[in-house]
Amino acid sequence: MTIITRFFNSTLGKKYIMAITGFLLFGFVIIHMLGNLQIFIGPAAINDYAEMLKSKAALLWGARLGLLVITILHIVTAIQLVLRNRAARPVKYGTGKAPVAASLTSRTAAISGTIILAFIIFHLLHYTIGGINPELLQLRDATGRHDVFQMMVQGFSNPLIAGFYLLAMALLCMHLSHGVSSMFQSLGLKSGAYDMVIDRVAKVAAGAIFLGNCAIVIAVLAGLVK
């Protein structure tokens, strides 16, 4: 076994993989939100943006593949860490003793992460693959291109679907505020003096993502974007 494979098989190495893949996914979520917020500029802006993203097939499929690999690495490594953590736990479930704080936060991250995964599958079926409301992918604007603006307006006009998005965004916010803070810890960048600042930055970033994404859903539900 080389020194590199030995490192990535160690618990520290796996925490590095979680931190780096988490950072890349966090970057995607911010860029995706900034792109989607163009719905507030108007149909032409968001439809132009969507058309531009899809205009270079090689870039689009490269980014999709990259995102898929990063997501799978993040999930598989998380499962491996949970299993290792469980194997190393001295107190078994059912003994009546409360779990230690660290395992409580990672259990919360595991639950929110699982629901976020369910959300991503639902979201892809809703807006990309067309398994849910396939007519949304057929919408065309006056210039004949995919009308992403109308797709979002019609998609979020269903209160049940909008409610699921809002719930998923609340869980994403929780997951990110824990994740960003533990990312700094895993990379050895949390060393006492700046701990409070790092935790606060993590909460503000996660809160901004929650507000930005929910603003889109709520604006449609309230009839402000139509």
Nearest partner of 104 among 115, 95, 93, 119, judged by Cα: 93
When the beta carbons of 49 and 105 are compared against ligand HEM, the nearer one is 49
Tell me how far, at minimum, the Cβ of 86 lies from ligand HEM, in Å: 26
Asked if residue 172 lies in contact with residue 166, where contact means CB atoms within 8 angstroms, the answer is no
Instruction: State which residue, 154 or 186, has the beta carbon closest to ligand HEM.
Output: 154
Let me know how long the chain is.
Answer: 226
Contacts with ligand HEM by CB under 6 A lie at 29, 32, 36, 50, 53, 64, 67, 120, 123-124, 127-128, 148, 152, 165, 169, 172, 213, 216-217
Q: How far is the CB of 7 from ligand HEM (least distance, A)?
A: 28
CA separation (Å) from 31 to 26, 35, 132, 214?
9, 6, 25, 15
Q: Output 36 or 181, the one with its CB closest to ligand HEM.
A: 36
Residue-wise burial string across 90-105, b where 16 or more C-beta atoms lie within 10 A, e elsewhere:
eeeeeeeeeeeeebee
Which C-beta is closer to ligand HEM: that of 69 or that of 83?
Answer: 69
Type of residue numbered 92: K
Which residue of this chain has its Cβ atom nearest to ligand HEM in the complex?
50
